[in-house]
Amino acid sequence: MTAPPLQGSSITDFGVDAQGELSKLRRHFGRADIFFYLVCTLFGVDGLGTLATKGGAGFTWLILCLLLFALPSSMLLAELGAAYTDEGGPYVWVRMAYGHLAGAVNNFLYWVTNPVWMGGTLVGTAVGGLLVFFNGGNEYSTTTLYIIGAVFIWAGVLFAILSFRVGKWVSTIGACSRFLLLGVFVVVIVMYGAEHGFHGIGAGGFAPSYSSFVALVPLILFSMVGFELPSAAGDEMKDAAKDVPAGIRKSLITTGLLYGLPVLGILLVLPASQASGLAGFPDAIKQALTVFGGTVSTAADGTVTTTLTGFSQLIGWIMGLLIVIAAFTSGLTWIMGSDRALAVSCLDKAGPRYLGEFSERFGTPVRVNILSGVVSSVVFVAATEITSGDAAKFFTVALSLAVSTTLMSYLGLFPAAWTLRRKNPDHPLPYRSPAIAFTTSISLVFIVFCTVQILFPGLGDSWFGSDYRPDGWTGDEKWTYLLTEFVPLAVFIAIGVAFWALGRRERPTSESIPPASVASVR
């Protein structure tokens, strides 16, 4: 049975016009849907190879970040998602806590990182899987890259336009593809080790270092944010107060396992020198699959070349397709959620009203969905041209930009729970984050430090030194790298301010939002 239309947000009064748009939404999102959605949101295959580039230190930082960052930050977001269940949750929370300007700028950063990520890193991940399993590791021509990128991006836009009733099944398929991909990987790793012996890492290889912290922790944090994303469809949930904390708790444990097991597998099968950010995970899979047929040869320079034959090649093709599906559904879930947050911000007059329209037929923000596709395409073309089709350098440029914009958006999100608890002491909290001062502080410390290190890798020791600069870059390219990161960030912030200014002209003099729920805007 189709659920009845909603009557608008329960906390924030967006006005009659906006309520008309929100009434197009339907409740489709249950507890199992939230869990599968979060698995797709949190676990992506694009960073697995990079996590192994520093040997066992990558695994050590993964566990530490899980305990010291993902756990406390997820509790903050569980409190917000259970207590404030409006559509566009991530925007609404920041806007309620700090006003329209902070909400507009923070939310634009939160949104724009996803088309940047989809048109950059995720396309690169899909290309990496195709290169390893379907093209013998050889680079594709620029024309072929453009074709792959266009199909990848605009297929995602199409699915994002479809209603959540359809889109949630895509995330379910994406989650299942991850379970199958990593389940097969773990099995073949064990078989490979039993037959050939493991590469092995001594106990000292797991010791963390400052250089590995700078190189890996920003990426790990990027991989462990997103617990709030289902709340962007808060008005489409069946019971957000109960389902959000439960979904976050289960997905936190699942994500830890999904990241931890493959990273260990990569470390056991491939020498660290062979694990690149673009193809380290596919290479590890390919090498392990030789237990079903194939050969592994090592050149004089230590390069490992793997050839699959017969049944192993068939399994390799399947694994390559699963990598593409995992990358595709990662981008899709983020686009579905962040597009809703941007549309709601525009309904709340923190951006152009034109972008705030929801489709009567699909109940989705079609105009923002199309805008995401356009931005993704521009990023894809720009990154391809800047790097002259160099897939490895393309990957690092796009990934660094996606990480920096994402982390910056959490500077507004993480403290919102503590702020709203103090502003609205009588508001019901179905879930309360324990030790909220500590969880907020430690989450922000991680975010601030890692954002700085993304922009200036190695700052405080050796900025852009050999131990810190991203793969594919040389020491004399640090200013080029900085410009590729800083200029887009400055442009994104300026656009966020422009959105606020456009919306301010449409806002009435007196705020219509209940003073008990929100901060003063001016």
The predicted pLDDT at position 361 comes to: 83
Under a CB-based contact definition with an 8 Å cutoff, are residues 52 and 266 in contact? yes
Average pLDDT on 326-352 reads 91
Structure-token match 């939002």, residue found: 513
Q: Letter for the amino acid at 62? A: L
Least confident of 173-177, 201-205, 233-237: 201-205
Under a CB-based contact definition with an 8 Å cutoff, are residues 217 and 450 in contact? yes
Average pLDDT on 282-291 reads 84
Under a CB-based contact definition with an 8 Å cutoff, are residues 341 and 107 in contact? yes
Instruction: Return the biggest CA–CA distance within the chain.
Output: 74
**pLDDT single digits (tens) 243-267:** 999 999 999 999 888 888 878 777 7
Please state which of the four CATH numbers 3.30.450.370, 3.30.390.30, 1.25.40.340, 1.20.1740.10 is assigned to the domain occupying 29-505: 1.20.1740.10
CB atoms within 10 A of CB 283: 24
Task: Report the sign of the C-alpha dihedral through residues 96, 348, 74, 433, in that order.
Answer: positive
Three-point CA angle 63, 69, 70, nearest 5°: 80
The predicted pLDDT at position 20 comes to: 62
DSSP state of 307: E
Q: Which residues pair with 297 in a beta bridge?
A: 305
The confidence band for 428, taking pLDDT boundaries of 50, 70 and 90, is very high
Helix, strand, coil tally for the chain in percent (to 5):
70, 5, 25
Q: Quick one: residue 139, left, alpha or beta (phi over 0 = left, psi -120 to 50 = alpha)?
A: beta
* pTM for this entry: 0.84
The confidence band for 141, taking pLDDT boundaries of 50, 70 and 90, is confident
Q: Which helix (H) or strand (E) holds 306?
A: strand 304-308
Q: What is the DSSP code string of 64-97? A: HHIIIIIHHHHHHHHHHHHH---BTHHHHHHHHH
Q: Tell me how far apart the alpha carbons of residues 340 and 250 are, in angstroms, rounded to a whole number.
A: 24
Q: Tell me how far apart the alpha carbons of residues 320 and 343 are, in angstroms, rounded to a whole number.
A: 35
Residue of 1, 10, 12 whose CA lies nearest to 517? 12
Task: Report the sign of the C-alpha dihedral through residues 68, 73, 78, 79, in that order.
Answer: positive
The tokens describing 136, both together, are 């013998």
Residue of 467, 412, 481 whose CA lies nearest to 76? 412
The predicted pLDDT at position 50 comes to: 65
Three-point CA angle 165, 171, 174, nearest 5°: 150
The confidence band for 306, taking pLDDT boundaries of 50, 70 and 90, is confident
**pLDDT single digits (tens) 331-341:** 899 999 999 99
The confidence band for 195, taking pLDDT boundaries of 50, 70 and 90, is confident
| Relative orientation angle of helices 89-98 and 71-83, to the nearest 10 degrees | 90
Residue of 406, 396, 367 whose CA lies nearest to 471? 396
The predicted pLDDT at position 7 comes to: 37
Average pLDDT on 143-160 reads 90
**pLDDT single digits (tens) 214-226:** 878 888 888 889 9
pLDDT > 60? residue 94: yes
The confidence band for 377, taking pLDDT boundaries of 50, 70 and 90, is very high
CB atoms within 10 A of CB 432: 14
Q: What is the DSSP code string of 485-512? A: HHHHHHHHHHHHHHHHHHHHHHS-SS--
Looking at the chain, how many residues does it have?
522
Structure-token match 């930082």, residue found: 61
Give the domain ranges of the chain: 29-505
Residue of 425, 432, 431 whose CA lies nearest to 517? 425
